[in-house]
Amino acid sequence: MSVDAPTWPADFAARYRAAGYWQGETFGQMLRARAVQYPDRVAVVDPAGAGRRWTYAELDRRADRLAAGLRDSGIGRGDRVVVQLPNVAEFFEVVFALFRIGALPVFALPAHREVEIGYFCSFSEAVAYVIADHHEGFDYRGLAAKVKEQAPTLRHVFVVGEPGEHTALSAVPREPAGPAGPDGPQASDLAFLQLSGGSTGVPKLIPRTHDDYLYSLRGSNEICAVDEDSVYLVVLPAAHNFPLSSPGSLGILCAGGRVVLCPAPAPETAFPLIEGEGVTITGLVPPLALVWTEAARSAPHDLSSLDVLLVGGAKLSEAAARRVGPALDCTLQQVFGMAEGLVNYTRLDDDEETILTTQGRPISPDDEIRIVDDEDEDVTPGEPGHLLTRGPYTIRGYWRAPEHNERSFTRDGFYRTGDIARATPSGHLVVEGRAKDQINRGGEKIAAEEVENVILGHPAVHDVSVVSVPDDYLGERTCAYVILREAAELRPAALRRFVRERGLAAYKVPDRVEFVDVFPHTGVGKVSKKDLRTTVTRPAHP
């Protein structure tokens, strides 16, 4: 692991083990233990997949058999496999098979396209890529064909559904698994690579171990009161860190509860599932929480089973927070987390004020929080500053990114979150803003530089700066300020089409394009994004 990513120093690792955080269990072992404990309880419900219901015994058996088949296809311990699946049961079959092998899923989102997937496959030197045939009108098999041309290491494309020119996942031979060999993964090994929203030209890969992630799940379960009777609805894309782990599907599986996959986030899809399956807990980004809040007023469905609604991924305004709980008749739990590690929750028994006005406090007593000024000096307690963190489930470095790690981590291993936060006397954090060059579009993170690099590829463009603009619904949207080359002409719609056709995920296509003659500059001559943001005066272009 150390060659690919920095890990915890030995004294920290020893401390985290001694404290009982890292228990030496792998995901493969965790699932096996649940299958022994709760063989006949339902683990996964897939309404899109003809209402399939897999028990713990079934999921465990499927993961084992698929692991054997994938091993026979040459996929081994440490190999990377890009997994890009919608909310379908096979997601769990595939990732647990990979966990058993010790191969590392790279968790792509369904929205990712050629630019992102091509990069994940080539940078991670992935040996396989797992997709659905199509989802929301998009055919992933064509995408896979293009990606194969860019990624020489890619030997397999496995398809859930009709395979086309690739291999059907169902055609992977399912041998009854032999006894697990001695070469299985260790709990201290990497389990998978999660994605960072990032703030640089290329997304970063986040190396998480079995030990550290399982600790964050157990901690989350305790805080969110998850047990074997919990029913979690996966509304957001299953591979995202929030619905995966806060407490998410994996937390629920860890507890022996039931995971229900929601094929689409709209209330029309989700509400009948809440009623039908007796969903007790789910997680939403703020814009979606508001859509649900509105819909709940007139919906005919019985949502009374819902106890806890987690809202996070982007800042939930106090005004919105006030409406959510009463409308859905459940306890609101704010969550402020990151795929790099640190997750904060308001506690279910926090007073109302705390739940409505803070983004929670860390999972672990050993999560170290620092709030510092531009010189890395601690601010006066209660004042806002840069949030730094270190702890038993926060990475010490990104995967294969030594130069970037120099900037993103302090010498003593604190992760620079890029968030501006303040701490209340009770240790709850309030997110006040962001220092990183990122746009948070309703929970979907966009690295400005990544979009800028694509736009700079347009022959009519001399320079570009991508910034956030406030938005009532999403919190923020993107605006690209563009300086054209002399005598060049370009319409906003044409530039947006260009970005899409280059193969960037649709949520990264600028919502708005403004042409300007010059950029405002800071004292030292850098483009001042702060001033650009305040320049937006004209109405939005279509």
Instruction: Give residues in contact with ligand AMP (CB under 6 A).
Output: 196-197, 241, 312-315, 334-340, 359, 417, 419, 431, 434, 440, 445
- Minimum Å distance from CB 71 to ligand AMP? 31
Which of ligand DBH, ligand AMP, none sits in contact with 245, Cβ below 5 to 8 A by type? ligand DBH
- 221 contacts ligand DBH (rule: CB under 6 A): no
At 74, is the secondary structure helix, strand, or coil? coil
Which one of residues 287, 313, 360, 510 is an interface residue with ligand DBH (CB under 6 A)? Answer: 313
Q: Which is nearer to ligand DBH, 67 or 309 (by Cβ)? A: 309
- The encoded tokens of residue 186 equal 């260790």
Cα distances (angstroms) measured from residue 41 to each of 66, 97, 263 = 21, 20, 22
- 358 contacts ligand DBH (rule: CB under 6 A): no
Q: Which is nearer to ligand DBH, 338 or 429 (by Cβ)? A: 338
**Residue 507's closest CA among 443, 456, 457, 462?**
443
Rounded to 5°, the CA angle 400-404-406 comes to: 110
Q: Which is nearer to ligand AMP, 334 or 468 (by Cβ)? A: 334
The alpha carbon of residue 277 and the mean position of all alpha carbons in its chain are separated, in whole angstroms, by 25
Q: Which stretch binds ligand DBH (CB under 6 A): 55-63, 336-344, 364-372, 471-479?
A: 336-344
Q: Which stretch binds ligand DBH (CB under 6 A): 56-64, 170-178, 225-233, 335-343?
A: 335-343
Q: Which is nearer to ligand DBH, 242 or 481 (by Cβ)? A: 242
- Say if residues 265 and 214 touch (Cβ distance below 8 Å): no
- Minimum Å distance from CB 393 to ligand DBH? 10
- Minimum Å distance from CB 394 to ligand AMP? 11
CA 398 – CA 409 distance, rounded (Å)? 10
At 495, is the secondary structure helix, strand, or coil? helix
- Minimum Å distance from CB 287 to ligand DBH? 13
CA 74 – CA 7 distance, rounded (Å)? 28
- The encoded tokens of residue 263 equal 């094929």
Residues 490-508 as b/e (b if ≥16 CB within 10 A, e otherwise) read: bebeebbebbeebbbbebb
- Say if residues 144 and 112 touch (Cβ distance below 8 Å): no
- Minimum Å distance from CB 348 to ligand AMP? 16
- 339 contacts ligand DBH (rule: CB under 6 A): yes
- Say if residues 482 and 447 touch (Cβ distance below 8 Å): no
- 338 contacts ligand DBH (rule: CB under 6 A): yes
Which of ligand AMP, ligand DBH, none sits in contact with 246, Cβ below 5 to 8 A by type? ligand DBH
Q: Which is nearer to ligand DBH, 309 or 343 (by Cβ)? A: 343
Q: What is the DSSP string of 116-153?
A: HHHHHHHHTT-SEEEEESEETTEEHHHHHHHHHHH-TT
Residues 239-258 that bind ligand DBH (CB under 6 A): 241-242, 245-246
CA 419 – CA 371 distance, rounded (Å)? 10
Q: Which is nearer to ligand AMP, 101 or 238 (by Cβ)? A: 238
Residue 366 burial by CB count (10 A; 0-12/13-18/19+): exposed, middle or buried? middle
Residues interacting with ligand DBH, by CB under 6 A? 241-242, 245-246, 312-313, 335, 337-339, 343
